[in-house]
Amino acid sequence: MPPETRYAKSGDLNIAYQTVGDGPLDLILVHGWVQSFDPSWEIEDLKRFYERLASFSRLILFDKRGVGLSDRVMLDDLPTLETRMDDMRAVMDAVGSERAGVLGHSEGAAMAALFAATYPERTTALVMVGGFARFREAPDYPLGMSDEALVRKKRAITESWGSEAVRRVLRQLAPSIADDEEQVQLYTRAAARGASPTAATALMRMSAQIDVREVLPAIRVPTLVMHRADEALAEESRDVGERIPGAKVVELPGVDHMPWLGDQDAVLDEVEEFLTGARPHPALDRVLATVLFTDIVGSTQLAADLGDRRWQELLERHNALVRRELDRFRGREVNTAGDGFLATFDGPARAIACACAIRDGARTLGLQIRFGLHTGELERHGSDVRGIAVHTGARVAAKAGSGEVLASSTVKDLVAGSGLEFEDRGSHELKGVPGEWRLYAVANA
């Protein structure tokens, strides 16, 4: 569960905040534009990002005024960076933090820089990720956004503040997930809870006034400037690094502007080492296992036809069935999202038998389920599993038909001689997984 939300008083306004972890140092995170911490806990990548930061710090999250759970502002009286900096200080005072590391991302990096330059006695270190010195283009700053582009962006927000507007933003700033409809919807809901279309446009207008070029040379606290080599704001971040005396500049491979996407561990390793002096060396628990993904076919339409109460009852019966069969075939439930399960097995034959048992049991409930199976090396992090094998299993499941147990060639080869029979489903490209993969449907069990 997310931590409790509290409020700090800044002038007449209430600024929402949370604290996570109890590490030896305080770290305050400054998000960009309309990002709110509240819906962020529902985005798995961001949740893991927060938890990793909280593993070596007391992480302080807050919503800037006008955003998320903090008080809204009058649109004719938009806050300046200085005002928002006062909100940040009010939050630190409320949690009893005398000094803290400041981590600013995107627009939030400019605010973090201003705070570090103004209050060096309260700043142990500054980390700027994907930051910029000035928002708008100028004769002496060609890196900024042109007036024409700014007008188009404001119009897009005003006219289509929803999945299409968010999709356009993700294509520019998070290309690795821009075509993933589930991720688009997650970020669309987060944006809607961050600000209304009118507020988002107004806050974009405020962001357009940002220019901290004269502030950056005055920063005297230890500073880390980071970005991905091929992200949209890479040039702007390189410019920031050149303007701060003695700043450590780190360029990592990748295309995503959001540091919690892509290889977030590479970002977090740099942050942790910079703030604590020690780079983590996690003892990864690597194991060969078979992953099983399940998904109810047509669940959205079925839920609409049945209504909330009957659908919830049916879903609970489905979940009980899946867990009963996982227990019978020695599977381990990793997580469940919506109406699907991810489980692991120490043998592929048991995983196939379990999938077929779930399939047959689900039919008695009037449900059709698709299954994806792959065997490979996994990284176990607590109760979670990660690695390319997990992604491969998910992509195999996405190719399965209704009621089909679909397996990679790796699974088929490993159960040779077991008596299991398969039907060849041909070669496929699996999104995000290198090479072509031959897939097979289980014909008997």
DSSP 333-371: EEEEETTEEEEEESSHHHHHHHHHHHHHHHHHTT--EEE
String of DSSP letters for 161-216: TTHHHHHHHHHHH-TTTTT-HHHHHHHHHHHHHH--HHHHHHHHHHHTT-B-TTTG
The pLDDT of residue 65:
93
The pair phi, psi for residue 15, each rounded to 5°, is -110, 120
Least confident stretch, 75-84, 330-339, 424-433: 75-84
Residues near 180 by beta carbon (within 8 Å), at least 6 away in sequence: none
pLDDT at 297 over 80: yes
Q: What CATH fold (topology level) applies to the domain 6-276?
A: Rossmann fold (3.40.50)
Question: What single-letter DSSP state applies at residue 121?
Answer: G
- Helix count and strand count (H, E) for the chain: 15, 16
- Residue-averaged pLDDT of the chain: 92
pLDDT band at 161 (very low <50, low <70, confident <90, very high): confident
The pLDDT of residue 334:
93
pLDDT at 373 over 60: yes
Give percent above pLDDT 70 in the chain. Answer: 98
The pLDDT of residue 144:
94
State mean pLDDT over 255-272: 94
The pLDDT of residue 433:
83
Per-residue pLDDT of 11-49, as tens digits, reads: 999 999 999 999 999 999 999 999 999 999 999 999 999
Q: Which residue has the tokens 């048992």?
A: 357
Which amino acid is residue 381, in one-letter code? H
String of DSSP letters for 218-262: G--S-EEEEEETTSTTHHHHHHHHHHSTT-EEEEES-S-SSTTSS
Contact 304, 333 (CB under 8 A): no
The pLDDT of residue 362:
94
The pLDDT of residue 317:
94
Contact 330, 346 (CB under 8 A): yes
Q: Where in the chain is the domain with CATH 3.40.50.1820?
A: 6-276
Per-residue pLDDT of 65-113, as tens digits, reads: 999 999 988 777 778 888 899 999 999 999 999 999 999 999 999 999 9
The pLDDT of residue 190:
93
String of DSSP letters for 271-315: HHHHHHS-------EEEEEEEEEEEETTHHHHHHHH-HHHHHHHH
The pLDDT of residue 420:
92
Least confident stretch, 194-208, 242-256, 258-272: 194-208
Architecture of domain 285-442: 2-Layer Sandwich (3.30)
The pLDDT of residue 445:
57
The pLDDT of residue 296:
94
Look up residue 437 and give its two tokens.
Answer: 């993969």
**Residues in the chain, total:** 445
Q: Where in the chain is the domain with CATH 3.30.70.1230?
A: 285-442
* Spatial distance between the Cα atoms of 112 and 131, rounded to a whole number of angstroms: 10
* Spatial distance between the Cα atoms of 381 and 403, rounded to a whole number of angstroms: 31
Which amino acid is residue 341, in one-letter code? F
pLDDT at 335 over 80: yes
Per-residue pLDDT of 190-247, as tens digits, reads: 999 999 988 888 888 888 999 999 999 999 999 999 999 999 999 999 999 999 999 9
The pLDDT of residue 336:
86
State mean pLDDT over 156-165: 83
